[in-house]
Structure 1
Amino acid sequence: MEMETNSIMLIKQKLEFFDILKAALVIPCKNANFIVFTFFSSLPFFCFMVLYETFLQTTLLETSKVLTVLPGLYNYIWVISTFITRRLTWDFSLQLIRLGLLYLVPLHLVELFNVIVTVDLASRIYTGENPITLREMIHKSVDKAWLKGSFITSVYVLFLSTCTLLGLIWIVTNYTIFSRSIFIYDLFFVAVYGAAFAILLTKYLEWSAVWNMSIVVSILEKRYGVEALAVSQYLVRGNEQRGLFFMLVFFAWGIVLRLPCLYGECNEIGSKIVPQITLFCLGNVIKWVVCVVYFHDCKKRILEKVDEEGEEIRAVDEVEGREKLRKKADDEV
């Protein structure tokens, strides 16, 4: 009872960045079922992530070899692209295709299942609802309409995020190529690509908050696809900065976990993949709990704004009504 009262009081407060993080970190400690259910729902995602990360790190190692340009070519920037293209073997291309398919199909599905369980449980605990039982969780897991709607929204999000990430990769590749040139006029392109990367990365993180919110809307509000994206865009209006900071934190978390590979230690990291993915899955659960708290806070702010606007309209109507009565009384006199 006391826990439910604290949850209700927390919902009524306006939460800032650290308040939301604190509330999200407290949620797993409030209910043992949350830890149990999220653990078992994370197992398929964990297994596929180990496989995916192995392929990813191998691909990154091969990519670094492909992008290694002979020192004599640094002064001939326009020859570099041709040189790199010739080094792209058929096997490497197949490896990229395999990595992409693994990311788009099985990994996406198992992550979505983990997200659905995490979001539903976190929302129940945060709002003070009755804890879900194993029977209810199984019943929800076979709800075709619910799963189908959430899947449709996730496909929209996957498409948008993948296109943006490909744009970032293209910019980074061009930046890397031009930054190796010693010609002064190529420094202009380095500056352009650097600025473009910073702008697109900022927008990507800002959009990610909206996209993740749309999945939360699909799970909790049962609004799907374009409608879920529109609702999430409406909810985060005026709160974009907090969403940007949240996504920046978890984006940095993923980068930090991959730093050993980015520094060329991919061939030595095999034994470190399991603890790395464990921390990654933990961060993923916390990210979605944060998204749930962020969703409820944004929704509360919107409702309060609507109530305030309604009260202002009623107050204006009352003043106008009094003025009309006074004017009418003056006319009669």
Structure 2
Amino acid sequence: MESESKQVMKQRKKQLEVLDILKEALTILVKNTNFIIFAFLTSLPLLFLMIHFETLFQQILVDTPRIVKHILLQFNTKLYGGFIYEHVIILTDDDATIHLDQDYYTVTSFSSKDYLPNLIQLVFMYLVPLHVLELGSAALTVYVSSKLKSEEGRLSLKQMFLESFDASTMKGTFITSLYLLSMSSGILLAAAWTVSNSYILYMTFGCYIVFALICFAALTKLLMVYLEWSAIWNMSIVISVMDGIHGAGALRVSFFLSSGNQKRGLYLMLVFFALGVCFRVPCIFLGCYKGGSGIFVQVGLFFLVNTLKWVSCMIYFSDCKERKLEKKIIDDVEVGKDLQSGS
């Protein structure tokens, strides 16, 4: 057993850092053109849906601040017979039309009748079709990329299609995803609640810097928790695909393998979150949701980032698993030494 421990120590590789994981994932993508084609073809339904989803999502993001301001203006008008604008209460008659800054405060020109139906449609798309299509794309990407990594060779496009579709694996992975969907939805609802209340506090008490600091701290903490848990949740999907462990069992294994690697998982997810923001924010400012080719470019970039993310999650899982196995062998050797010395 001691010789086995020495052999493990000799063969032990350095722990992969975030940049190492990203570099290895990029290498898999660049060296395997067939894999890119396979990922693109199997993601086509997802890409078409993402175009509609992103258009609707960006429109909701733009409309939400206006809706909140609209509600606050109406509330102040009914409560005080006027509303606060730059710390001055302006009185209005009951039948008077409110006209202020044409960009934000012209209530009569702003129509919100489509906001709620669009929001309901967006939530339904996220929970049902988008979730299922993202899961299928992720499972196929993880499986084929793991084959490419383990075999260290090329697979033909035909082999990828023939060997990747496994009904039992898809079913088990879907069960795991339902656990994750419920937990991630809870975090997203908490984030939406925090953002809404932060915005209302800012609109009401914007002159006080303490409220801005509290809101920023709350959102930052919530984001860090979400990203750290995202690494665990994504690893559980990889575990379902590669090891056939599903549901709560996959989550338990993922928590075990993630112990001691929380920061690494957090930073890895932070990279992809930052890339998503960098691609989405310019698109919102340029008004890509209004039409044109901008939204197609954004979705295409999202496809590349999403593929890279799942390949990186597969590599991250493999590295965490390898470290745990090495640690177990070394611990077993140490226990054996203690028993021998005790006897």
TM-score, normalised via structure 2 length: 0.80
1:166 aligned to 179, 185, 189, which one?
189
2:201 is aligned to 178
Q: Which amino acid is 2:268 matched to?
A: F
**Corresponding residue SS for 1:179:** helix
1:155 is aligned to 178
1:30 is aligned to 31
Residue correspondences, number = 303
Select between 50-59 and 248-257 the one with higher mean Cα deviation.
50-59
Select between 191-200 and 130-139 the one with higher mean Cα deviation.
130-139
Q: Distance in 2 between matches of 1:212 and 1:63?
A: 30
1:16 is aligned to 17
1:99 is aligned to 122
2:167 is aligned to 144
Q: Distance in 1 between matches of 2:11 and 2:330?
A: 21
Contact 2:18 2:264 (8 Å CA) reproduced? yes
Give 1:299-310 correspondences, 5 Å limit.
299-310=321-332
Cα distance, 1:29 vs structure 2: 2.7
Contact 1:75 1:182 (8 Å CA) reproduced? no
The answer to whether residue 43 in structure 2 is matched with residue 42 in structure 1 is: yes
Closer/same/farther in 2, CA of residues 11 and 22 from structure 1, 3 Å limit: farther
Q: Which amino acid is 1:192 matched to?
A: I
**Corresponding residue SS for 1:72:** strand
Unpaired runs of at least 5, structure 2: 1-9, 74-82, 89-106
**Corresponding residue SS for 1:14:** coil
Q: Which amino acid is 1:240 matched to?
A: Q
Select between 266-275 and 201-210 the one with higher mean Cα deviation.
266-275
1:286 is aligned to 308
Contact 2:55 2:290 (8 Å CA) reproduced? no
Contact 2:289 2:295 (8 Å CA) reproduced? no
Q: Distance in 2 between matches of 1:122 and 1:266?
A: 33
TM-score, normalised via structure 1 length: 0.82
Q: Distance in 2 between matches of 1:30 and 1:245?
A: 25
Q: Distance in 2 between matches of 1:130 and 1:146?
A: 23
Select between 126-135 and 32-41 the one with higher mean Cα deviation.
126-135
2:103 is aligned to none
**Corresponding residue SS for 2:246:** coil
The answer to whether residue 136 in structure 2 is matched with residue 113 in structure 1 is: yes
Q: Distance in 2 between matches of 1:53 and 1:101?
A: 14
Give per-residue Cα distances to partners, 1:191-212, cap 9 Å, x unaligned.
3332221111111000000000
Q: Distance in 1 between matches of 2:250 and 2:130?
A: 22
Select between 258-267 and 307-316 the one with higher mean Cα deviation.
258-267
Select between 211-220 and 22-31 the one with higher mean Cα deviation.
22-31
Q: Which amino acid is 1:57 matched to?
A: Q
Q: Distance in 2 between matches of 1:67 and 1:207?
A: 30
Q: Which amino acid is 2:117 matched to?
A: L
2:298 is aligned to 276
Give 1:183-222 correspondences, 5 Å limit.
188-222=210-244
Q: Distance in 1 between matches of 2:141 and 2:187?
A: 26
2:77 is aligned to none
Q: Which amino acid is 2:137 matched to?
A: N
Cα distance, 1:157 vs structure 2: 1.3
Cα distance, 1:51 vs structure 2: 1.2
Closer/same/farther in 2, CA of residues 73 and 173 from structure 1, 3 Å limit: farther
Cα distance, 1:234 vs structure 2: 0.5
1:72 is aligned to 84
Q: Distance in 2 between matches of 1:268 and 1:132?
A: 41
**Corresponding residue SS for 1:180:** helix
Give per-residue Cα distances to partners, 1:233-271, cap 9 Å, x unaligned.
100110111110011110111111111354473555632
**Corresponding residue SS for 2:318:** helix
Q: Distance in 1 between matches of 2:268 and 2:304?
A: 15
1:3 is aligned to none
Q: Which amino acid is 1:275 matched to?
A: V
2:58 is aligned to 57
**Corresponding residue SS for 2:199:** helix
Give per-residue Cα distances to partners, 1:143-176, cap 9 Å, x unaligned.
3221110011112112211211121121111111
Q: Distance in 2 between matches of 1:21 and 1:183?
A: 41
Closer/same/farther in 2, CA of residues 238 and 50 from structure 1, 3 Å limit: same
Give per-residue Cα distances to partners, 1:54-93, cap 9 Å, x unaligned.
11122223223213355735659xxxxxxx9xx9955321
What's the C-alpha RMSD, in Å, of the aligned pairs? 2.8
Q: Distance in 2 between matches of 1:298 and 1:318?
A: 30
Contact 2:46 2:133 (8 Å CA) reproduced? yes
Q: Whose helix proportion is higher, 1 or 2?
A: 1
Closer/same/farther in 2, CA of residues 41 and 74 from structure 1, 3 Å limit: farther
Closer/same/farther in 2, CA of residues 150 and 131 from structure 1, 3 Å limit: farther
Q: Distance in 1 between matches of 2:11 and 2:272?
A: 23
2:271 aligned to 249, 255, 258, which one?
249
Closer/same/farther in 2, CA of residues 38 and 203 from structure 1, 3 Å limit: same
